[in-house]
Chains A and B, each alone.
Chain A
Amino acid sequence: MDAQVKFSLRDAPHEMIERAVKVRAENVNVFYGAKQALKDVNVGIPERGVMAFIGPSGCGKTTFLRCINRMNDTIAIAKVTGRIVIDGENINDRKVDVVELRSRIGMVFQKPNPFPKSIFENVAYGPRIHGLATSKSALEEIVVSSLKRAGLFDEVKERLHDAGTGLSGGQQQRLCIARAIAVEPEIILMDEPCSALDPIATARIEELMEELAKIYTIVIVTHSMQQAARVSQRTAFFHLGNLVEDGPTDVIFNNPKDKRTQDYITGRFG
């Protein structure tokens, strides 16, 4: 853990909460072929908290999120330069085992994407392939506790062996969160996790994020600025591949320093 650099999650001194840096990006550039998607991004993400990335479509926020678990490796024309340091280790280093890395970093996508398996199997899959459970009962325990932490257990306990795809959208998304936390990750990346959900399902996910942030480092990309303002303690604004400004969420939404941030959050350009 990089304990030297501390974050203040709130601007007001009486609410000062300090957190160490969990993830640090240093001069990160991403190219898709000739097109540069991210330009020299430097930012720190605090542990045990929610950090939101906002910005117009195509600004690079999802690209940046995908740098954190090296998902850009899966795109043939993508090239990443710079360092992403997690707990002091550069994950772009050749020695890093990507499978092991991704087991430490869960990801939740815009559209819920449960496996075409039962609810139980969706959650059990990760722990099983990573060998986290030594017995059947231990595996069951992991599944139940993950579903409970994702706030889904009470709704599905009677039908754990029904198909995960038969759940409602909001339930499917919580199932995906249960699946992500079943492998005990340290970081959870969320790429617009509520954009396909109704307001009530959205509220449940937000409530869940608050709960999960006590244990995990959560990074969320969202188009809803109100959501970013509600759930995050720190916010970063991306525009045209540049990280324009990052800081305590209160400051970014009440009194941003950069005019581009101000224009974006007040709806002055699309």
Chain B
Amino acid sequence: MTQHTVASFDADLQTLAGMIGEMGKRAVHSLADATKALLERNVQLAQQVIAADRNIDDLQHLIEEKAVATIAKRQPMAIDLREIISTIRIANDLERVGDLAKNVAKRVIAIGDQPSPVNVASGLGTLSTRVGEQLSAVLGAYRNRDDEGALDVWRADGAIDVLFTSLFRELLTYMMEDPRSIGFCTHLLFCAKNLERVGDHATNIAETAHYVVTGDTLSAERPKADESSAMRSPQS
């Protein structure tokens, strides 16, 4: 893209892009740490994730302020306007990702050192890795204004939903087998749901990236494969 006649406008846009990059890095990091804390039952690491969420929230406020100030000052049009609006939207999604990671961390503290009655570590690990990859990929696609890359992420969200649905079934089965595991399994179920929600935010970011590049909104219904909301317990 050619430079603006007013060079400080370019500087404003670069600052915003840099802030999104930083926020994205922190959100990806929090997600990985929260999952690690969960799988290793590491309460100390969980506390770090909770503390670090504050920084992600602060970044969201800074991005919003900078974006509003830039709109007021420059009255951006077309691609410029879309870019600035996209930073507000993506900052919103990343802030939610931070919250979801924090929620996983809180549950790590809540279950403390209770012995685990079930073994779903591999399923949760896979889900988290998959979600982290989606998030990194979509942030890269956004940074490079790569519409195809963003659409790939958008289409791949169904696979995450499938993983979540299968974890849901598995945990439900454990709970039915041994009601004493219900407390523990519920925490894990929420953790899985939180991770799945991060995937949805990655999809949102993909839609935003598509909007920046093309000026169009993705009108098709996003691919959904989370069937847990329609699922009944096996007996009924």
| Residues of A near any B CB (own CB < 8 A) | 225-226, 229, 253-256, 262-263, 265-270
Q: What would be 27 A-B contacts, judged by CB atoms less than 8 Å apart? A: A253-B77, A254-B77, A254-B78, A254-B81, A254-B82, A254-B215, A255-B78, A255-B214, A256-B78, A262-B78, A262-B79, A263-B2, A265-B77, A265-B78, A266-B4, A266-B77, A266-B79, A267-B4, A267-B5, A267-B6, A267-B80, A268-B2, A268-B3, A268-B4, A268-B5, A269-B5, A270-B5
The reply to whether B9 and A267 form a contact with Cβ atoms under 8 Å apart is yes
Tell me whether B76 is interfacial, beta carbon within 8 Å.
Answer: yes
Contacts of A255 in B (CB 8 A): 78, 214-216
Instruction: Please count how many residues in chain B sit with their CB below 8 Å of the partner chain's CB atoms.
Output: 19
Residues of B near A267 (CB, < 8 A) are 4-6, 9, 74, 77, 80
| Smallest CB separation, B123 vs chain A (Å) | 43
Tell me which residues across on chain B come within 8 A of A256, comparing CB atoms: 78
Minimum distance in angstroms from B121 CB to a CB of chain A: 47
How long is the Cα–Cα vector from A270 to B78 in the complex, in angstroms? 17
Which residues of B (152-173) have their CB < 8 Å from a CB of A?
A: none
Alpha-carbon gap, A266 to B79, bound state (A)? 8
Closest to A269 in B: B5
- Chain A residues with Cβ under 8 A from B82's Cβ? 254
B73 to chain A, nearest CB (A): 12
Verify A226–B75 contact, CB threshold 8 A. Answer: yes
CA distance A266 to B215 in the complex (A): 14
Which B169-184 residues have a C-beta within 8 angstroms of A? none
Give the docked Cα–Cα distance between A166 and B48 (Å): 72
Measured in the bound complex, the distance between the Cα atoms of B77 and A229 in whole Å is: 10
In Å, the complex CA distance between A256 and B215 comes to 9
The interface residues of chain A lying within 8 Å CB-to-CB of B215 are 254-255
Max chain B C-beta neighbours (<10 A), residue from A254, A255, A265, A267? A267
Shortest Cβ distance from B75 into A: residue: A226
Q: How far is the CA of A263 from the CA of B215 in the complex (A)?
A: 15
Nearest residue in A to B80 (C-beta to C-beta)? A266
* Shortest distance from the beta carbon of A11 to any chain B beta carbon, whole Å: 11
Complex CA distance for A270 and B5, rounded to whole angstroms: 7
Please name all residues of chain B whose beta carbon is closer than 8 Å to the beta carbon of A270 when the two chains form the complex. Answer: 5
Report how far A254 CA is from B214 CA in the complex, Å: 10
Q: How far is the CA of A175 from the CA of B19 in the complex (A)?
A: 51
A265 nearest CB neighbor, chain B only: B77
Nearest first, the 3 closest Cβ-Cβ pairs linking A and B are A255-B215, A265-B77, A266-B80
Of the candidates B6, B74, B78, the one whose C-beta lies within 8 Å of that of A253 is B78
CB distance from A265 to the nearest CB of B (A): 4
**How far apart are A189's CB and chain B's nearest CB, in angstroms?**
25
A154 to chain B, nearest CB (A): 32
Closest to B211 in A: A255
Interface residues of B in 65-90 (CB under 8 A from A): 74-82
| Interface contacts beyond A229-B77, A266-B4: sample of 6 additional A-B pairs, CB < 8 Å, sorted by A | A254-B78, A254-B82, A262-B78, A266-B77, A267-B4, A270-B5
* A residues in contact with B214, CB < 8 Å: 255
Residues of A within 8 Å of B9, CB to CB, are: 267
CA distance A266 to B12 in the complex (A): 14
Cβ contacts under 8 Å, A265 to chain B: 77-78
* Residues of chain A within 8 A of B216, CB atoms compared: 255
Q: Once the chains are docked, how many angstroms separate the CA of A266 from the CA of B82?
A: 11
Residues of A within 8 A of B81 (CB): 254
Tell me the nearest residue of chain A to B82, going by C-beta. A254
A226 and B75 CA atoms in complex are apart in Å by 8
- Tell me the bound Cα distance from A254 to B212 in angstroms: 11
Q: Which residues of A contact B6 (CB under 8 A)?
A: 267
CB-based contact A266/B3 at 8 Å: no
Measured between alpha carbons, how far is A254 from B81 in the docked complex, in Å?
Answer: 8
Q: How far is the CA of A265 from the CA of B81 in the complex (A)?
A: 11
Query: In whole angstroms, how far apart are the Cα atoms of A266 and B76 in the complex?
Result: 6
Distance, CA A267 to CA B6, complexed state (A): 8
Residues in A with CB closer than 8 Å to B5 are 267-270
Nearest to A229 among chain B residues (CB) is B77
User: B76 contacts which chain A residues (CB < 8 A)?
Assistant: 266
Interface residues of B in 1-57 (CB under 8 A from A): 1-6, 9
Interfacial chain B residues near A225, Cβ < 8 Å = 77
Task: Tell me the complex Cα distance, A25–B74, Å.
Answer: 35
* CB closest residue in chain A, given B216: A255
A266 contacts across to B, CB distance below 8 A: 4, 76-80
